[in-house]
Amino acid sequence: MAYGVKIECWGPYACFTRPEMKVERVSYDMMTPSAARGLVEAIFWHPGLRYIIDEIDLLSPIRYTNIRRNEVKSKVLSSSVSSGARSGREIYLYTKADIQQRAAEVLKDVRYCIHVHFEMTDKANAGDNPGKFREMLCRRARKGQCYHQPYLGCREFPAGFRLVEDNEPVVPYPETRDLGYMLYDMDFSDREHIIPEFFHARLEKGVMDLRNCEVHR
């Protein structure tokens, strides 16, 4: 694993929403590989590379809490934007009528260590090489730089992050459990048909190993 990098991340709350329970959100017990990829991409990303998550370590016990909020129901409609713009009428969303209360079962006080490596894609420029990309990611993570503040599943749950240096030990929280089928990632290769991929996740003494895992779709 020549280009492997370890990133530690943490936050007071996290919600890695299960796709089957999206209305009243329920989080997975553990960070999903797709959330981990998004978190690393918030620090550094380039079209010339593709991140692959190797392992996610649990560093603090799995705990839940419940939050209910008033949430807006609908999205911005293209038809109302264009009609509002043409007639000069005001467009807005009336929250009293367009709101619903939704509960979220979220994780509390989470801390993970993400083991990630990347592959070069054909969009890389001629001057790019893995060493350069790795150095950029490490430098940003070490200095706390980021493209935007990474988050743990939802933007209201911002994540702190730091680089775990190569020789630094990682001590997972020794939890062993079968996590069942979890979202691996979304397959974006066909923009019109984005396909979710799942895998059977197991937490072995706090380590969720994603190397050679079988991905179902």
> Three-state SS for 153?
coil
Identify which range of 23-31, 53-61, 69-77, 170-178 contacts other proteins by CB under 8 A: 69-77
H/E segment holding residue 130: helix 130-143
Say if residues 175 and 203 touch (Cβ distance below 8 Å). yes
Separation of alpha carbons 141 and 168, rounded Å: 15
Stretch that binds other proteins, among 29-37, 49-57, 95-103, 204-212 (CB under 8 A): 95-103
Nearest residue to 158 via CA among 110, 196, 214: 110
Backbone angles phi and psi of 85, in degrees to 5: -70, -35
Total residues in contact with other proteins, by rule CB under 8 A: 53
Near other proteins by CB under 8 A: residue from 127, 169, 171, 191: 191
Residue 111 makes contact with other proteins by CB under 8 A: no
* CA angle (179 as vertex; 178, 181 as ends), nearest 5: 115
Q: Report the distance separating Cα 11 and Cα 29, nearest Å.
A: 15
Secondary structure (3-state) at 102: strand
170 binds other proteins (CB under 8 A): no
Using the rule CB under 8 A, is 76 a contact of other proteins? yes
Read off the amino acid at residue 209: D
When asked if residue 155 is in the footprint of other proteins (CB under 8 A), the reply is yes
For residue 197, the minimal CB distance to other proteins (Å) is 16
CA 96 to chain CA mean position, Å:
31
Q: Which of 19, 147, 174, 195 binds other proteins (CB under 8 A)?
A: 147
**Part in contact with other proteins (CB under 8 A); list of ranges 14-22, 65-73, 172-180, 207-215:** 65-73
Name the DSSP letter for residue 158.
B
Q: Which of 89, 169, 171, 214 binds other proteins (CB under 8 A)?
A: 89
Q: Which of 149, 180, 211, 213 binds other proteins (CB under 8 A)?
A: 149
| Residues 7 to 46 in contact with other proteins, rule: CB under 8 A | 12-13
Among 85, 195, 213, 215, binds other proteins (CB under 8 A): 85
Burial class of residue 41 in the structure, from the number of CB atoms within 10 Å of its CB (0-12 exposed, 13-18 middle, 19+ buried): middle
User: Should residue 146 be labelled a site residue for other proteins when binding is judged by CB under 8 A?
Assistant: yes
Smallest distance from the beta carbon of 91 to other proteins, in angstroms?
7
Residues lying near other proteins in the complex (CB under 8 A) are found at: 12-13, 63, 65-72, 75-79, 81-82, 85-96, 101, 103, 108, 140, 143-149, 151, 155-158, 160-162, 188, 191-192, 194
